[in-house]
Amino acid sequence: MISEDRKMKEALNREFARQFGPMDGVGIYFAPGRVNLIGEHTDYNGGHVFPCALTIGTYAAARKRNDRKLRFYSMNFPDEGVYESSLDDLVPDEKYGWTNYPKGVIFTFIKRNHIIDCGMDIVIFGNIPNGSGLSSSASLEILTGFILRDLFGFGMDNIELALIGQDSENSYNGVSCGIMDQFASAMGREDQAIFLDTVDLSYEYVPLNLKGMKLVIANTNKKHKLADSAYNERRRECEKALKDLQKAVNIRQLGDLTCQEFEQYKDAISDPVCRKRAKHAVYENQRTIEAVKILKSGDIYRFGQLMKEAHISVSRDYQVTGPELDTLAEEAWKIPGCLGSRMTGGGFGGCTVSIVKDEAVEEFKERVGAAYLKKIGYPADFYILEAGGGPRIVKQRKIKDEDRKEI
Ligand code: GLA
């Protein structure tokens, strides 16, 4: 990881100097991506989630300017060149491409009365595969918030950074996401997952203890676009189900129900599709609570079985998987050294996460990879990943604020 930091830092130093000139006052920062172990599509239904931050994520070199210009360059999208904009032009627009994410965060800081009185030059370099569903956008949001906090000396904590990130994604970028991704990125801890109650944001770190096992991520390489996919539609279906249920039982969100209560009241939901969506939300929440209890007791095998049940539920009832994710999960279940496998994130593409015994990892990659290629027609990618910490300063900026006018 240290060597990855060094590599990314050196690359960013070089690119920043090339794009924006001398390096005085430049800080280098990092915020992680995330993988969710269990608890999918529960975070906007008043349920629990169990993600961890990853050791991969997004890096940036950033410094203040002495005017109101905002200049962004991404080493992941070199063909797009430098995006130039200003603090007076914080309006979402497709022409600003990926910079709508950092701009959304800047906009949200200002909306919340944090004073940002000068522009910035920022170069980004991420090592999360694009569009993999490992939250490159949430990591970019947390990274931007973290940079603003450092450059402008704001005092908010990391949970506030997560809420700002979610707010910016909801209101600036038009995706009605829950809090999971931003929370996981902002609050990550090495070798631990985060058991989060999305109702009141109470949380607990749970050690992963994957001795002799690896977290294997398999990427469908199918691009998914949360914003124009069925994500927002799923939210609406759950809201509709909740409204119907509230006529029969006094609840505030789907996560308030146990599975038994759901079975008792489910007929109040008039639309059968909405009923299926709500069933997933309720059962998945209860499954997540149980899974964490089981993991704490050390029964990783049972935890793996619950991962499988969770996948079946998002596939059949929530219908956010598709042949690519289903093939990866179903092929994984056939490998004896694989304890559990399920899709992770919003769905419709992206990745599965599997717990695989060390000695079975190669077999897993070969067999799942071959079956996927045969059925889907193009290859999947595999990564071995670890739970990592939250955002951090990789290289402290050197000058004091009052010196910046001399840049
Ligand atoms: C996306 C969203 C999250 C969450 C997951 C599904 O990653 O950003 O808030 O809803 O999908 O669990």
Distance, CA 179 to ligand 1 centroid (Å)?
8
Distance, CA 261 to ligand 1 centroid (Å)?
25
Ligand 1 atom 9, closest CA: 178
Helix and strand element counts for the chain (H, E): 11, 12
Distance, CA 27 to ligand 1 centroid (Å)?
30
Give the C-alpha separation, 169 to 12, whole Å: 26
Distance, CA 44 to ligand 1 centroid (Å)?
8
Residues 189-233 have pLDDT tens digits of: 999 999 999 999 999 999 998 899 999 999 999 976 654 568 889
User: Is the per-residue pLDDT at 399 higher than 80?
Assistant: no
| Residues whose beta carbon lies within 6 Å of some atom of ligand 1 | 40-41, 43-44, 177-178, 180-181, 345-346
Exposed, middle or buried: residue 302 (CB in 10 Å: 0-12, 13-18, 19+)?
middle
Angle between helices 180-187 and 158-171 (to 10 degrees): 150
The pLDDT of residue 226: 52
Q: Return the best residue to mutate from 34, 35, 38, 41 for the ligand 1 pocket (most ligand atoms within 8 A of CB).
A: 41
Distance, CA 25 to ligand 1 centroid (Å)?
36
Confidence of residue 401 (pLDDT cuts 50, 70, 90): low
Confidence of residue 405 (pLDDT cuts 50, 70, 90): very low
Distance, CA 45 to ligand 1 centroid (Å)?
11
Ligand 1 atom 11, closest CA: 346
Question: Of 52, 4, 12, 3, which Cα lies nearest the Cα of 147?
Answer: 12
The answer to whether the CB of 300 falls within 8 A of the CB of 207 is no
Task: Give the number of the atom of ligand 1 that is nearest the alpha carbon of residue 42.
Answer: 12
The pLDDT of residue 228: 55
First to last CA, the chain: 32
Give the C-alpha separation, 233 to 28, whole Å: 38
Q: Return the best residue to mutate from 137, 176, 180 for the ligand 1 pocket (most ligand atoms within 8 A of CB).
A: 180
The pTM of the whole model exceeds 0.85: yes
The answer to whether the CB of 43 falls within 8 A of the CB of 254 is no
User: Is the per-residue pLDDT at 400 higher than 70?
Assistant: no
Question: Of 156, 201, 158, 157, which Cα lies nearest the Cα of 178?
Answer: 201
Residues 249-302 have pLDDT tens digits of: 999 999 999 999 999 999 999 999 999 999 999 999 999 999 999 999 999 999
Task: Give the number of the atom of ligand 1 that is nearest the alpha carbon of residue 133.
Answer: 7
Share of the chain above pLDDT 70, in %: 96
C-alpha count within 13 angstroms, C-beta hemisphere, residue 112:
15
Share of the chain above pLDDT 90, in %: 91
Provide the annotated active-site residues. Answer: 181
Task: Give the number of the atom of ligand 1 that is nearest the alpha carbon of residue 36.
Answer: 12
State the residue for tokens 């002495």. 66
The pLDDT of residue 133: 87
Confidence of residue 305 (pLDDT cuts 50, 70, 90): very high
